Amino acid sequence: MLGDNGKAAKVTVDGTDFKTVEYQPFNPGRMSHKLRRPGLRYEVALSIARCYIVSINGPFLCGEWSDLRIARSHLHHLLGPREYYLADAGYRSGNGPAVQRNGLPVRRRGMFKKLMARHETINRRFKEFRILGTRFRHEEDKHGEVFRCIAVLVQIDIVRGNNIFNI
């Protein structure tokens, strides 16, 4: 998607939170405002052209890491000087490479909504696996490995064309 400023959007980006048990000792930085309980957050970037998972980043403690902070830690370094990404309001920043719906021309806002809806369906697929869809009750350091394994399975499903709507 090419913006009026000549920059090219290559990916859509969104953060997704997963429930965990309350590990000891108590850490308020684990609390997710989305889940209203302890959780871990990941950033997922999808290619606009093919809907492939092109980057994942995490896990991060939900209460300590905002979506924008996570993007600044990794994704911003992967983008070229004339590239940007499409994201929801959690990535609001005045001068970064994130573009929200209101930052696009009116004629492109419908496409933005479709792209972000497609992204949410991919986020939902992670949670269809019971180990991530319910409270993660295993050692916290294994969560990232489980998430990456499931990301590979979701990507295989995408490559096979299962239930992806084209835009």
Report yes or no: 44 and 125 within 8 Å, Cβ to Cβ.
no
Q: What is the pLDDT of residue 2?
A: 46
pLDDT in tens, 32-72: 888 788 889 999 999 988 889 999 999 999 889 998 899 98
- What pLDDT, on a 0 to 100 scale, did the predictor assign at position 108? 78
Secondary element (H or E) of residue 12: strand 8-19
Question: If you average pLDDT over every residue of the chain, what do you get?
Answer: 84
Q: pLDDT per residue over 35-44, tens digit each?
A: 788 889 999 9
More confident residue, 95 or 137: 137
Q: How far apart are CA 132 and CA 125, in angstroms?
A: 10
In the prediction, which pLDDT does 153 show?
A: 94
pLDDT tens for each residue of 75-110: 888 888 778 888 888 777 666 776 776 667 677 788
Name which of 117, 129, 130 is nearest 154 in CA terms.
129
CATH number for the domain formed by residue range(s) 8-158? 3.30.420
Specify the pTM: 0.85
pLDDT at 163 over 70: no
The domain ranges of the chain are: 8-158
